[in-house]
Structure 1
Amino acid sequence: MTDSPVFREPLHVGRPNIGSRARLTERLEGALDRLYLTNGPLVREFEERLAEVAGVDHCVAVCNATIGLQVAAKAAGIRGGDEVIVPAFTWVATAAALDWIGIVPVFCDADETTGNIDWTKVEALIGPRTRGIMGVHVFGRPCEVDELEEIAGRHGLPLLFDSAHAIGCTYKGRPVGGFGTAEVYSFHATKFVNSFEGGAIVTRDAEFAERCRELRNFGITSAGEIRSGGTNAKMNEAAAAMGLTSLEVMDSLMEANRINHGRYEKGLDGLPGVWVRGQAEGERANHQYLVIEIDAAVAGIHRDEVHTALIAQNVLSRRYFHPSCHQVEPYLSDPARHAPHPLPHAEALAERVLALPTGTTVGPSEIDQVCDIIRRCVSARTPAR
C-alpha cells in the first residue's frame, strides 16, 4: 500500500443521490408560495406515486421509517409487552423501533444464502405472547414471502415487512410493497431514493391505511375527531419535494447501481474467498447496496482486516450488520428483552459481509481501484496452494 491514501476524497457507502436540483427548487418554491409546509399537496402526490411503485392502493407517508414501523405495529394491534419475531441479521433500527414502544423483539436466525429471516425457524419461536412477525428484505433481496404469509395466516398473526432496502425490487415479478399486512419503506438520506429523511407505509388494506393515517396525526380521524391515541409522524413538504424529485430518477439510479454491481463482480472474479452477494434470479433489483463476503478460512484474511485497509485508503466501507442485533445492548444482557442464545447463521454473516461504495458518485475507475485494494489485501495473505 502507498503511504498516502489512494483516494484524496473519501468514497462513502450510502452517499446521497441528488436528482434534478431545478425540479427540487421548483417544488420547494411552490410549497413556500402556498404557505403549506407539512402534510400537504406534495405529500399527497408523493403518496400517490409511491402507491404506484408498490403496486398497492394505499400509502401513508411518515417522517422516517423507524416511526413508520412503530405506527404500522400499532395499527396492526401490537401493544407493549407483546412479542414480535424479527430477524437477528438486520440494522438494529428494526428491533429498536419495536423495543422503544415496549414490544419485545424475538430474534430469529438468518438464511445464509439470502441474508433474510430463516422462515423455517420462525414457527418454533411462536409463543403465547407472539402478536406478529416482521421480515426484512435484507440488501433489497426479498424474503420468502409466500412461506412467511402462510405461517402468519395459519397462526392469525399480522405480517409486517421492513422494506427499507427494497423499493423498486420484485418478488415473483410483483413489486415489493404489496405483501403481508403492510410494508415500510425508508427514504433516509443514505437510501438510493431519499426524501432527505422520511418513510412510508404501503398496504392493500384500506382500513389498515386509515388507522395508520390517524396514528400518524395524534389519533385524529379524517373527520377531525380524536378517536384514539397517536403520535406526530407526519412528513413535511420539503421532504416530499425531495422524495418526488428522487423518484423521477429512480430507474436511472437503479441502472447505475446495476452497472456498478457488474463492475465489482468482474473486478473481484476469481479472488479466493471473496464474492459479491447476488440478488434473486429473474427479479428486478435496485442494487442499492454493493455487498461482498469474505471467507477468512479461504481468503486467509478476516473481513475486518480488509475493512481497515480500505479505510486507510479513504474507502469508507461498512460492516453491515456487525454485530447482529442479538449481540448488542440492550438485548445482549437483558433476558427480559431477549433470552441470549446462539444464532449461528446471523453471527457468521455478521463476520463476513462488507458494504462497498456504489451509486452515481462512484465511477468505473474508482471501482477498479477499490477492487485492486481488496485483491492486494487477499493476495498477500491467501494460503499457498
Structure 2
Amino acid sequence: MPRTPMFSEPLHVGRPNVGDRDRLLRLINDALDRLWLTNNGPLVREFEEKVAERAGTRHCVAVANATSGMQIAATAAGVRPGQEVIIPAFTWIATPHAMEWAGMVPVFCDVDEESGTIDPEHAEKLIGPRTGGILGVHVYGRPCPVDELTDLAGRHGLSLLFDAAHAFGNTYRQRPVGGFGTAEVFSFHATKFVNSFEGGAIVTNDDGLAERARALHHLGLGPGREIVSRGTNARMSEIHAAMGLVSLEITDELMEVNRRNEQWYRDGLAGLPGVTVRPQAPGERANRQYVVIDVDERAAGVHRDAVHDALHENNVLSRRYFHPGCHLSEPYRAAPAVHAPLPLPVTEALTERVLALPSGTAVGSVEIAGVCEIIARTVTGPRGV
C-alpha cells in the first residue's frame, strides 16, 4: 500500500514571492488609465532606473526574459554568429540555448569544485581563433571569479558576459553584481528572488553597448524610431514592470527570510553523514534564493537520487540543479568535438551530488523540519552509514 506523503500540498523549490498586492493593483490600474501598456512606458523606465541603481551601473535595459537578454547582450557586445562562446556546462540549459539561438557556438568549460562557477584555467585552454566571448554564470548566486576572468578576457581581446540570473542583490568583493564584464543579465522570472512575472534586464556601464542593446530589443529602432539595426521584440510591458517594482520593495525582507531558511536547513541537517549545505561566498551579501545540498554517496550511503526520490514521494519537489550537464543534453551531446572538446569531470561529479530544496516565503520552520526529517530517514536508513 502506498505511503501517505508527509506533505498534502507540494513544496516547490521556486514558488513566487509576492509583494504588496494593493500597490501592485494600483500600479496596474494607473497603467490602464494611461492606456500606455508597452513600448518603454513610465513603469518600465522607473524599473530600469531602480535596477541600475541596485546594480551600480549606468544603464539597464529591461527585457522580456533573461534568455532574450543574453542573446541581445552577446550581439550588442560584438560576438558574431559562428563565433564560439565559452560557457560552463554546470548551468541551466537556457544559457547555452541563448547563444545557440543567436547563431553562436557554445563551447563548454568545467567548473570549480567549491563554487560551481566557471574555471578560468580550463576556460583559457578552450580559447582559439573562433572564440568571441566568455559567458560566466553566477551559480546559485555565488559570483564567478570575476577578477581572473576579466584578466583572461582582456589578454585575449574577448567580450566578457555574465549570466546573473541567480545573483540580483549579491556582491563580489563588496561591489554589487551587475557592473562586471562587458554586461551582465538578470532574470526576473516568476520563481526568481525579484520577479516581474516574466522578465529580465541587461545591465552595463558601456554606453555604446547599452545603446545597441536598446535598439536590438526594440526591433532595431533608434531613439527617433528610425531603423538603426536588425532587432527583435524583447520589450518588457508595463504590467511586468509593475510587478517588478513591487518585488524590489521587499528584497530586504526576502533576504532575511532566505537567510533564516538556510540556517534552519543547516541546523536540521547538521551531523548528517555525507550531507552538506553548499555555502555562499564568504563575506559577501547574498540573496540565498537557492538552498542546495551536496550528497556524498560514500559518506551518506545513498546516491543523491535516492534522497531526491524520497523527497518527491513526500510531495517535496526538490530539483537536481543542474542534471545532466549541458554538454550531455541535446543538441550539444550529439557534437562533442564542437561543444565539449575536453573532459568535464568536476561538472559531471557535481551533477550527481547536488539537490535544490524548497525555500522562500512559501516555507517555514515546520516545513523545513519535515524536509530535513525525510532526508535524515533516507540517509540513515538500511542503506545508510
TM-score class normalised by the smaller sequence: over 0.9
SS in 2 for 1:165: coil
Contact 1:300–1:378 under 8 Å retained in 2: yes
SS in 2 for 1:19: coil
Deviation string, structure 1 residues 308-342 (Cα, Å, up to 9, x no partner) = 10000000000000000001110001247424543
SS in 2 for 1:351: coil
Distance 1:221 1:41 in 2: 18
Query: What is residue 254 of structure 1 aligned with on the other side?
Result: 255
Query: What is residue 118 of structure 1 aligned with on the other side?
Result: 119
SS in 1 for 2:33: helix
Distance 2:63 2:246 in 1: 17
- Tell me the amino acid that sits aligned with residue 378 of structure 2: C
Structure 1 segments unaligned to the other structure (5+ residues): none
Given the superposition, is the C-alpha separation of residues 2 and 280 from structure 1 closer, same or farther in structure 2, using an over 3 Å criterion?
farther
- Tell me the amino acid that sits aligned with residue 67 of structure 1: S
Contact 1:172–1:283 under 8 Å retained in 2: yes
Distance 1:2 1:224 in 2: 63
Given the superposition, is the C-alpha separation of residues 324 and 263 from structure 1 closer, same or farther in structure 2, using an over 3 Å criterion?
same
SS in 1 for 2:231: coil
Deviation, 1:206, is: 1.2
Deviation string, structure 1 residues 244-272 (Cα, Å, up to 9, x no partner) = 00000011011100000000000001111
Distance 2:204 2:366 in 1: 41
Contact 1:160–1:180 under 8 Å retained in 2: yes
TM-score, structure 2 as length reference: 0.98
Deviation, 1:151, is: 0.4
Runs of 4+ residues over 6 Å off in structure 1: none
SS in 2 for 1:85: strand
Distance 2:122 2:360 in 1: 35
Query: What is residue 157 of structure 2 aligned with on the other side?
Result: 156
**Alignment RMSD:** 1.2
Distance 1:115 1:77 in 2: 27
Query: What is residue 320 of structure 1 aligned with on the other side?
Result: 321
Deviation, 1:112, is: 1.0
Deviation string, structure 1 residues 77-134 (Cα, Å, up to 9, x no partner) = 1121100000000001000000012100010001110000111211111000000000
Distance 2:320 2:3 in 1: 24
Contact 1:31–1:37 under 8 Å retained in 2: yes
Distance 2:381 2:366 in 1: 23
Query: What is residue 3 of structure 1 aligned with on the other side?
Result: 3
SS in 2 for 1:52: helix
Q: Which moved more, 1:121-130 or 1:328-337?
A: 328-337
SS in 2 for 1:311: helix
Distance 1:142 1:118 in 2: 12
Deviation string, structure 1 residues 19-54 (Cα, Å, up to 9, x no partner) = 000010000001000000012000000000000110
Structure 2 segments unaligned to the other structure (5+ residues): none
- Tell me the amino acid that sits aligned with residue 22 of structure 1: D
Deviation, 1:361, is: 1.1
Contact 1:332–1:340 under 8 Å retained in 2: no
Query: What is residue 88 of structure 1 aligned with on the other side?
Result: 89
Note the 1:133-212 alignment, pairs <5 A.
133-212=134-213
Q: Which moved more, 1:339-348 or 1:165-174?
A: 339-348
Q: Which moved more, 1:132-141 or 1:328-337?
A: 328-337
Note the 1:363-382 alignment, pairs <5 A.
363-381=364-382
Contact 2:160–2:182 under 8 Å retained in 1: yes
Distance 2:340 2:115 in 1: 25
SS in 1 for 2:106: strand
Distance 1:220 1:381 in 2: 65
TM-score, structure 1 as length reference: 0.98
- Tell me the amino acid that sits aligned with residue 115 of structure 1: G
Note the 1:265-276 alignment, pairs <5 A.
265-276=266-277
Distance 1:186 1:64 in 2: 7
Query: What is residue 278 of structure 1 aligned with on the other side?
Result: 279
- Tell me the amino acid that sits aligned with residue 157 of structure 2: G
Contact 1:326–1:340 under 8 Å retained in 2: no
Distance 2:384 2:253 in 1: 42
Note the 1:270-309 alignment, pairs <5 A.
270-309=271-310
Distance 1:373 1:383 in 2: 13
- Tell me the amino acid that sits aligned with residue 49 of structure 1: K
Distance 2:248 2:105 in 1: 35
Deviation, 1:359, is: 0.3
Contact 2:257–2:360 under 8 Å retained in 1: yes
Deviation, 1:243, is: 0.3
Contact 2:261–2:368 under 8 Å retained in 1: yes
